[in-house]
Amino acid sequence: MLNNLIAWLIRAIPFGTIILYGSMGETLTEKSGNLNLGVPGIMYLGGYAGYLCGYLYENHAANPNAFVCVLLALLAAFAASALGGLIFSFLTITLRANQNVTGLALTTFGMGVANFGGKFLLNESGYSSAPFSNAAFAYKILPGADSTGIFGKIFLSYGFLVYMAIIMAVILHFVLNRTRVGLNLRAVGENPATADAAGIHVTLYKYLATCIGAGISGLGGLYYILDYNNGIWNTSDQIEALGWLAVALVIFTTWRPLNGIWGAYLFGVLYWLYQYLPNLLGITISTYAIDLVQMIPYMVTIVVLIVVSLHKKRENQPPASLGIAYFREER
């Protein structure tokens, strides 16, 4: 019983970490008023670039160093995803293309690049692995993972990206709510005309938030490949569903990174519900019903969306200018 519960949590937390990165990045982006539906594509880009970098490094370096490997992969993932964000920014902010359509095109593009590159550059099988990079990323950096019993198992036994996600969520929360930059950014997303009148460079804020946000989202893809998926590149559509789940999580958390921490793990718990709950309750669920359970995170998100729109509590609403291009108009 207890073992089941522990095992459940141990699976839920890494799963949550993937979408936590995705949703943090998207939260930052949306706070600037940009609705980037390219998250799945961006996570593909990040995951692939990070993987490629690690793979090439460990196969070409004479004496691969774990730290260098991690650093290179992180940089590559962030840069590639931020580049995706830059494409989106240029099209929607400078060229004023529709955000929804551009985001979806970015998803197509990102998936294409990652899967094409994955197959073409790595090997033709569409499957390859980077065990060294995986070991570097999955290395349990916290002491006591094995010596503190259940506590260690549940809380200390993950790669560093799990903890970095939590730290980043806290930092993001701090930046958004306690700094001048965060205040200005939120003003841009809420009321760009007012921000403009207050002397804030609206375009610059939008660009930076979208690109950095995309970079953070991309780390989710990196974590998925190099840690969660044991360093195996598998050309498939797996990341896409995770990307949309990250978008759902943004809504679920009502645009608050701190909510994201528990929200992401809750989504993880819900995702793995089908495997552990029947055992815990001592019942058997028909295999076909398992899939039904998978829709729970989305259902919960829909409920949150509805409740938020019914309640009309101002703090929980999406940024007021979300999805709308801003340009200063002369009379």
Residues 55-84 that bind another protein (CB under 8 A): none
Using CB under 8 A, which of the segments 55-63, 165-173, 261-269, 306-314 binds another protein?
A: 306-314
Task: State the distance between the two ends of the chain, measured CA to CA, in whole angstroms.
Answer: 69
Q: Residue 164: how many CA atoms within 13 Å on its side-chain side?
A: 15
Where in 131-190 is the site for another protein (CB under 8 A)? 178-180, 183-184, 186-187, 190
Cβ closest to another protein, residue 110 vs residue 220: 110
Q: Residue 79: how many CA atoms within 13 Å on its side-chain side?
A: 11
86 binds another protein (CB under 8 A): no
Where in 25-54 is the site for another protein (CB under 8 A)? 35, 37
| Smallest separation, CB 39 to another protein (Å) | 11
* CB-count exposure of residue 4 (10 Å: 0-12, 13-18, 19+): middle
Binds another protein (CB under 8 A): choice among 80, 136, 247, 273: 247
Where in 191-230 is the site for another protein (CB under 8 A)? 191, 193-195, 197-200
Cα separation, 174 vs 29, whole angstroms: 16
Binds another protein (CB under 8 A): choice among 133, 235, 253, 259: 235
Binds another protein (CB under 8 A): choice among 19, 76, 91, 93: 91
SS (H, E, C) 269-280: HHHCHHHHHHHH
Binds another protein (CB under 8 A): choice among 111, 122, 136, 162: 111
Buried b (16+ CB within 10 A) or exposed e, 166-197: bebbeebbebbeeeeebebbbbbbbbbeebbe
Q: Residue 290: how many CA atoms within 13 Å on its side-chain side?
A: 12
Binds another protein (CB under 8 A): choice among 113, 145, 166, 258: 113
Residue linked to tokens 């260690």 = 152
Angular region, 278: left φ>0, alpha ψ -120 to 50, beta rest: alpha
291 binds another protein (CB under 8 A): yes
Cβ closest to another protein, residue 85 vs residue 159: 85
Cβ closest to another protein, residue 67 vs residue 288: 288
